[in-house]
Structure 1
């Protein structure tokens, strides 16, 4: 998993959809043990964190 690639996808989405923004409440909807890894509405979970596959999660919300 490439963190730079993930951030580039987010940046491109926000450039094309300027009526959206990162949803900073993502950590409130994730299990407590994952919340510390959330940054600016996204989280990258690596296999060694929890013995799972790797995941990248990003939450966006429409402004307003």
Structure 2
């Protein structure tokens, strides 16, 4: 019956016919809305920034000629 609950969103075993969603903290809700809040604290400028710059240049080299 788990597949039925995942499709319909109901659980026939509960009195109300619905299952409860897990409670989230304000931080978890903010991280859902802005994922940068999840990974930014672990971002290491010395190691990660150079790879991000290379990735940005690579994307720019691919997109700019297509726009001209």
Larger relative helix fraction? 2
Q: TM-score, normalised by structure 1?
A: 0.25
Q: TM-score, normalised by structure 2?
A: 0.24
Larger Rg computed on CA atoms: 2
Larger relative strand fraction? 1
